[in-house]
Chain A
């Protein structure tokens, strides 16, 4: 594929036409209230905001970002574990986005400011390289959905050095879609699934969900045309009697997915119930290292002492943070009194304002009002 071929996925004429088609399909549903659909990926929200796609969405359609930010759903006790390890003298390596995610009272950035050794790495492979250059204990604080967990799994299968271990906050997306679909107060009628995760899992993974919840799912990529085409198909499917899964990202996603990557993932991890920050306890929503890999599991390797963290009071504003409702799709950043005032990317109150994949950070980055229709409605 040439650069030119890639740019064709941003072709303005096609985008304009697909936008018109989307409006046509949404209108054809003939609803009095807007139809709500949810995507579950920060990258979708990034592309929607960056390319201004929302401005062209019809008033009959609400496109909501769900729990698609793995950093944001990393739960407070998981951050506490990383902070405690860092304060115990272990070197903690992690993705840059994780540094300022608040724990009970401290973030990793706070710990670093107080002298703990915290390293930002691009990925897990770089953390392994770091471990090879030292005799210090290196813990990789691993967040991310199944796509990222595959990378973590791959380095463990490649036998990392003995001073390396993993603190897993990895999460698995399909189970949380069930939770959101069943949440009282949600009116989600269709899901736009993340093309990257589906590249690994295959689109077949959503068939059982569709059967159980009678809600259509369309897998979509991240270029503007990918998203628009995915939404057109999703709205069309909502109008049909029989919900099903459709693949609007065929250049990367197949029904069965990347079988080798799945084998690597499930050989190293097993699903386990756990809390997602602000959302709920999600059965099978967390990825835990299997017993066979206990020697690289930071939770089994270290005695993690959380007590010192409770000496500090949590930030007073945290109680007002709406992250959970925003990620569940029942509130928008504009419903939060802190958004853009007390809570900004420089001084974030909640995780959604920390991560590049968080709804609040993305909205703030693109001027706070990526949905121009709201301005129109208010005017």
Chain B
């Protein structure tokens, strides 16, 4: 069960947390949401912002609890990169990985 909101792969691998769903259609308080290829009905009673087809939502036990703005995803990744950038310059392993990231041109 996803009481706290996590993955229970054995039962419902596609409903796991951290895999937000993409809204396919909205009918009143009910949305059809695509989770990596599986469409599930998700209630919109308590979501924090109006959602429309194409939006991503965080699901918990069949209820959308957050509309995830695309810019926030970028902000999170930027936060991680900031942590990486702050790594001690004499940390050879971190430096190695930073170089690899740069070389691979990863965003």
In the bound complex, how far is the Cα of B81 from the Cα of A232, in angstroms? 12
Interface size class of A (residues with CB under 8 A): 35 or more
Which residues of chain B are near A148, meaning CB under 8 Å? Answer: 2-4, 60-61
In the bound complex, how far is the Cα of B60 from the Cα of A214, in angstroms? 31
Assess the A225–B80 pair: CB atoms within 8 A.
yes
Which residues of chain B are near A249, meaning CB under 8 Å? Answer: 76
B83 to chain A, nearest CB (A): 5
In the bound complex, how far is the Cα of B4 from the Cα of A299, in angstroms? 24
Q: Does A359 contact B (CB under 8 A)?
A: no
Assess the B63–A151 pair: CB atoms within 8 A.
yes
Assess the A14–B76 pair: CB atoms within 8 A.
no
Assess the B61–A251 pair: CB atoms within 8 A.
no
Within 8 A of A (CB), among B2-43: 2-12, 17-20, 22, 36, 43
Assess the A20–B93 pair: CB atoms within 8 A.
yes
Which residues of chain A are near B36, meaning CB under 8 Å? Answer: 3
Residue from the list B43, B48, B62, B75 in contact with A251, Cβ < 8 A: B75
Name which residue of chain A comes closest to B56, CB basis.
Answer: A1
Interface size class of B (residues with CB under 8 A): 35 or more
B49 to chain A, nearest CB (A): 9
How many contacts A-B (CB < 8 Å)?
209
Which residues of chain A are near B46, meaning CB under 8 Å? Answer: 150-151, 154, 258, 260-261, 264
- 26 chain-A/chain-B pairs, Cβ below 8 angstroms: A1-B56, A13-B104, A14-B84, A14-B97, A18-B83, A21-B87, A24-B88, A43-B7, A46-B7, A70-B1, A71-B1, A96-B1, A125-B62, A147-B65, A148-B60, A194-B4, A196-B6, A199-B66, A250-B76, A250-B79, A251-B72, A251-B75, A252-B72, A264-B46, A355-B1, A356-B1
Q: Convert A185-219 into 0s and 1s, putting 1 for each residue whose CB lies closer than 8 angstroms to a CB of B.
A: 00000000011110110000000000000000000
Which residues of chain B are near A125, meaning CB under 8 Å? Answer: 43, 62-63
Further contacts, 4 of them, CB under 8 A, given A9-B18, A17-B94: A8-B77, A18-B83, A42-B6, A50-B7
Assess the A264–B87 pair: CB atoms within 8 A.
no
Assess the B4–A41 pair: CB atoms within 8 A.
yes
Which residues of chain A are near B88, meaning CB under 8 Å? Answer: 24
In the bound complex, how far is the Cα of B3 from the Cα of A98, in angstroms? 11
Name which residue of chain B comes closest to A2, CB basis.
Answer: B22
Which residues of chain B are near A261, meaning CB under 8 Å? Answer: 46, 48, 65
Assess the B84–A17 pair: CB atoms within 8 A.
yes
Q: Does A6 contact B (CB under 8 A)?
A: yes
Tell me which of B66, B72, B81, B101 has the highest count of chain A C-beta atoms within 10 A of its own C-beta: B66
